[in-house]
Amino acid sequence: MHLIESGNVAAATGVKLSRAQVIAAYPITPQTPLTEKLSEFVAEGSLTAEYIPVESEHSAMAVCIAASSAGARAFTATSANGLLYMNEQLHWAAGARLPIVMCVANRGIGAPWTVWNDHQDSISQRDGGWIQLYANDHQQIIDTVIKAFRLSEIVSIPVMVCYDGYLLSHTYMPFEAPDQDRVDAFLPLFSPKNKLDPDQPSNFNTVTLPDVRPDVRGNLAPGYMEIRHTLHQDMRNSMEVLKDIDQAFLDAFGRGGTPFVEPYRCDDVEHVVVCMGSLSYHMRDVIDQLRSEGVNVGVMGVQLYRPFPDQAMVSALSGKRSVMVFEKALSYGNQGALYADIKSALYNVDRRPLISNHILGLGGREIKTQHLYDAVKQACGNPETLGDTPHWIGLKCQAS
């Protein structure tokens, strides 16, 4: 079925097709229409689920933790300070290895207060143990939500599906919603490996000692450090699982093929621009114009941010003359987080490109195509002069 709807509706449709069983909802702009749409699906009977309105984002994640622990397919969504309010529970969900899926409609963080888009909210949570996937348009939103449920339930790690607030959440674009029976074939009913069951009492996530110790059966059980090591290794291994899931989705629905990064006109180029979210599609107009002028440049959108696809970055970027990282987030006092990760991935590459960092669009600051064109053209012409300090695009004055 082909629809022309908002990005939030695309996400809600993906959740419905995934047959989520428990939905925890607390409103925050620009995510609110997503959970509102899910409440309509539940009310009309097209989605059989428990829809639980709560009093805060912290409680929303607590509901998902409880539901997932009991063996239900759980979902919630949030934005900005709502995501930050969940912080304690985000770490709990990851440490408990619960396959929760959450959409984040990316928005800047207060103070000062803003309701507009950047990526600071989800980037600030990159070390919470959640897999992070970024969608570039409405079709990718619905497809990524469906894939996220399958991924989370195979690897037992929660997944964030991130997409740009307003630029995607509220704009209308065409997308295809696959038939329910085809989604059911791709995404089987959730069958948890472990769950709370009154008929088989057990304790989950009790206080763990620093060192290994015998469990109640006398078997050597891991300590806290071993548990964290396992989560890290499973996060790394989840990249191969995502690759397989993406291939299965491509076989079933004819879409996909770029589980880690999505290149555009990157074959045999000297320069590559790297972005996340809708900015990578905005940048395509700039690339087309520069290519028509003989500038040998392409753009690559990052779709998997955590775990970081370092080998995919090396394969795509080693040997290039320059890499320009444009991002809507900042690791304060250092550099852009995506830039730092890419630079780290390329550190040991023999043919390491020159890498530059460009910060833009914070708090919804308008990103003009002309500004992108000027910045990319200048960087391609003189990459040796850019250095390691972030370049701010669209900065108009200094705050007092």
Mean pLDDT, the chain, as a whole number?
Answer: 96
Structure-model confidence comparison of residues 200 and 262, the more confident one: 262
Quote the CA–CA distance of 131 and 231 in Å, as a whole number.
Answer: 11
Where are the extended beta strands (E) located within the chain?
Answer: 2-6, 22-25, 50-53, 74-78, 101-106, 131-134, 159-164, 172-176, 213-214, 220-221, 261-264, 271-276, 297-302, 304-306, 322-327, 354-359, 391-392
- Please tell me the predicted confidence (pLDDT) of residue 217: 86
Quote the CA–CA distance of 90 and 35 in Å, as a whole number.
Answer: 19
Exposed, middle or buried, 350 (CB in 10 Å: 0-12/13-18/19+)? Answer: exposed
Residue 211 has pLDDT above 70, yes or no: yes
Q: Which of 166-180, 196-210, 274-288 has the lowest mean pLDDT?
A: 196-210
Contact 23, 153 (CB under 8 A): no
Tens digits of per-residue pLDDT, 145-154?
999 999 999 9
The CATH number linked to 314 is 3.40.50.920
Q: Which of 51-60, 81-90, 211-220, 374-383 has the lowest mean pLDDT?
A: 211-220
238 found inside a domain: no
Quote the CA–CA distance of 237 and 298 in Å, as a whole number.
Answer: 29
| Unique residue bearing structure tokens 């009790």 | 206
* HSE toward the beta carbon, residue 297, CA cutoff 13 A: 32
236 found inside a domain: no
Domain end point (choices 186, 203, 229): 186
The CATH number linked to 101 is 3.40.50.970
Question: 298 pairs with which residues across the strands?
Answer: 272
Domain end point (choices 166, 186, 206): 186
237 found inside a domain: no
Give the helix/strand (H/E) hosting 369: helix 369-381
Contact 167, 281 (CB under 8 A): no
pLDDT, average across residues 240-245: 98
Percent share of the chain, pLDDT over 90: 91
pLDDT, average across residues 132-151: 98
Domain with 321, as residue range(s), is 262-392
Q: Which DSSP symbol is given to 275? A: E
- Please tell me the predicted confidence (pLDDT) of residue 203: 77
CA neighbor of 6 nearest in space, from 218, 250, 146, 171: 171
pLDDT, average across residues 133-144: 98
Same domain, 160 and 20: yes
- Count of domains in the chain? 2
How far, CA to CA in Å, does 98 sit from each of 69, 93, 148, 230, 339? 7, 6, 13, 14, 30
103 found inside a domain: yes
Tens digits of per-residue pLDDT, 272-294?
999 999 999 999 999 999 999 99
Residue 297 has pLDDT above 80, yes or no: yes
What is 104-131 written as a DSSP string?
EEE---PSSP--S--SHHHHTTTTSS-E
Domain end point (choices 157, 186, 215): 186
- Please tell me the predicted confidence (pLDDT) of residue 216: 81
Same domain, 22 and 121: yes
Same domain, 266 and 161: no
235 found inside a domain: no
Same domain, 46 and 142: yes
Radius of gyration of the chain (CA): 21
**The two three-digit tokens of residue 270, written as one number:** 């000297």
Same domain, 29 and 162: yes
Same domain, 101 and 17: yes
Same domain, 147 and 281: no
- Please tell me the predicted confidence (pLDDT) of residue 381: 95
Edge-first strand order for the sheet with 322-327 is 261-264, 297-302, 271-276, 322-327, 354-359, 391-392
CB count within 10 Å of CB 263 equals 16
Same domain, 26 and 150: yes
Same domain, 57 and 159: yes
Structure-model confidence comparison of residues 194 and 249, the more confident one: 249
Residue 400 has pLDDT above 70, yes or no: no
Using left for φ > 0, alpha for ψ between -120 and 50, and beta otherwise, residue 254 falls in left
214 found inside a domain: no
255 found inside a domain: no
Same domain, 75 and 177: yes
Contact 324, 270 (CB under 8 A): no
250 found inside a domain: no
Residue 209 has pLDDT above 90, yes or no: no
Structure-model confidence comparison of residues 198 and 344, the more confident one: 344
pLDDT, average across residues 10-21: 98
Residue 129 has pLDDT above 80, yes or no: yes
Same domain, 299 and 160: no
Same domain, 16 and 163: yes
Tens digits of per-residue pLDDT, 43-70?
999 999 999 999 999 999 999 999 999 9
* pLDDT-derived band at 214, boundaries 50, 70, 90: confident
- Please tell me the predicted confidence (pLDDT) of residue 397: 83
